Amino acid sequence: MQIKNLMSENLITIDKDQNLSDALRLLRKHNVSRLPVTNNKELVGIVSERDIANKLGSSKSESMPASRFHISSVMVKDVITVLETMQLGDVAELMLENGIGSVPIVSDEGMVGIVSKADFVTLASGIAFDKITVKEVMSNDVIAVAPSDRLIHARRQMLNANVGRVPVIEDDELKGIITSKDLMRAFIDFRKNVPEKYQKSQIKEVLVEEIMSSNPSSVSKEMSISEVSKIMIETGYNGLPVVEEGNVIGIITQTDILRLIAKLES
């Protein structure tokens, strides 16, 4: 299958000279996690929730409001693009090799669409994935934080591991999950509600339990990939903890499903 048959043609873009506040409004309005960045309608970068969370959480910019940052200072500039005629298995491999969550699709006329890991997950909701179980695909090495950990520690863990979410665990029990979206919103709300002169000291006191999503969806290791994919599509979650007898034994993410599809398509 060519990637043009999977891509989204509904392109939500942002200009490089707009600011992060503009990006946040677009992300929220259209319920997307990343935006292609343009300059005079030409693709010059891409910006994601994770990029924004990392920027706003940096000590160099901890007291600056989102409106002070131009998109050009946050975006990833070296954007990988693919032709609309490229096979989806090759695109999946490309995304895995480069550790990226989406790829703009181009033709002779310019950018014509975008494909993300979430688009690949829709493929895995079909009957072909009914007999493949979570335990065959999940990651056993779980990066986790505790409810009492500081927010800045959670950000550092996610940054170091290059992941977009981590389970929140206490006494081996799943208490919640924290995502790049949660971090992004927390840093923005913090800037709005705390006077600038107090921000540097008070950001260190914000705890994971204050911003985590409680009662997160979880799955079992015996569930099928098609079932898990449907849960991801319905909830919008890009990663789900795998729980057995109340304990977190792994995590399954869109990346794991993308890796499976790349393997099956090779």
Summarised one tens digit per residue, pLDDT across range 119-152 is 999 999 989 999 999 999 999 988 999 999 999 9
| Beta strands, E only, the chain | 14-15, 34-39, 42-48, 82-83, 102-107, 110-116, 165-170, 173-179, 213-214, 239-244, 247-253
Query: Which of 145, 121, 129, 138 is CA-nearest to residue 220?
Result: 138
Query: Which of 240, 266, 261, 263 is CA-nearest to residue 115?
Result: 261
d(CA 110, CA 133) in angstroms, rounded, equals 40
User: Which of 8-17, 19-28, 50-59 is the least confident region?
Assistant: 50-59
Q: What is the pLDDT of residue 61?
A: 66
Write the pLDDT tens digit of every residue in 183-239.
Answer: 988 888 888 888 878 887 888 899 999 999 888 889 999 999 999 999 999 988 889
Residue owning tokens 């979410």: 165
- Residue 214: beta bridge partners? 176
Write the pLDDT tens digit of every residue in 143-199.
Answer: 999 999 999 999 999 989 888 899 999 988 899 999 998 998 888 888 888 887 888
Q: What is the pLDDT of residue 62?
A: 60
Write the pLDDT tens digit of every residue in 37-89.
Answer: 999 889 999 999 989 888 888 767 666 777 788 999 999 999 999 999 999 99
Q: What is the pTM of this model?
A: 0.88
Q: What is the pLDDT of residue 202?
A: 86
Q: What is the pLDDT of residue 63?
A: 62
